[in-house]
């Protein structure tokens, strides 16, 4: 399985997985308000919300393009939601980041939190 980028759609990936049988999911399900069909989701990521607390469960294509993002308070809740959607799989922790990558995460977090403070309802 290819590793996701460490920053994905403004989040920091903390765990990722390939969907074992993309066709094994229900014919359709909703994730983050987006209706998805079985087979569309090939990869999953649990990612830290850099703008505030919590994590996102990202349903992605094979090349890590995010199809949906659903917010959860904890990683365990995100894993449980994936299992309920029929996307139960084996999760892999994201590799340790280099110092340069960690700095990029800090910069992104600072920027996104400033933006969230400036536009709290948007």
State the pLDDT at residue 34: 72
pTM: 0.88
Sequential pLDDT tens for the chain (122 residues): 689 999 999 999 999 999 876 555 555 566 667 777 767 888 999 999 999 999 999 999 999 999 999 999 999 999 999 888 888 679 999 999 999 999 999 999 999 999 999 998 75
pLDDT of residue 52: 93
> How far is residue 78's CA from residue 100's CA, in Å, rounded to a whole number?
28
Query: In the chain, which ranges are continuous DSSP H helix?
Result: 75-84, 99-118
- Listed by start position, the domains of the chain span 7-118
Say if residues 16 and 46 touch (Cβ distance below 8 Å).
yes
Say how far apart CA 115 and CA 74 lie, in whole Å.
23
Separation of alpha carbons 38 and 65, rounded Å: 16
CB–CB of 19/42 below 8 Å?
Answer: yes
């Amino acid at each position: 399985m290819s590793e996701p980028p460490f920053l994905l759609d403004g989040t920091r990936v903390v765990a990722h997985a390939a969907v074992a049988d993309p066709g094994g999911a229900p014919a359709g399900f909703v994730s983050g308000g987006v209706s998805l069909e079985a087979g569309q989701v090939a990869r999953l990521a649990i990612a830290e919300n850099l703008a505030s607390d919590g994590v996102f469960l990202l349903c992605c294509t094979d090349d890590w393009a995010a199809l949906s993002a659903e917010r959860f308070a904890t990683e365990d809740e995100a894993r449980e939601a994936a299992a309920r959607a029929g996307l139960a799989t084996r999760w892999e922790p994201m590799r340790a980041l280099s110092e340069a990558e960690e700095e990029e995460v800090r910069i992104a977090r600072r920027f996104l939190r400033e933006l969230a403070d400036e536009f709290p309802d948007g």
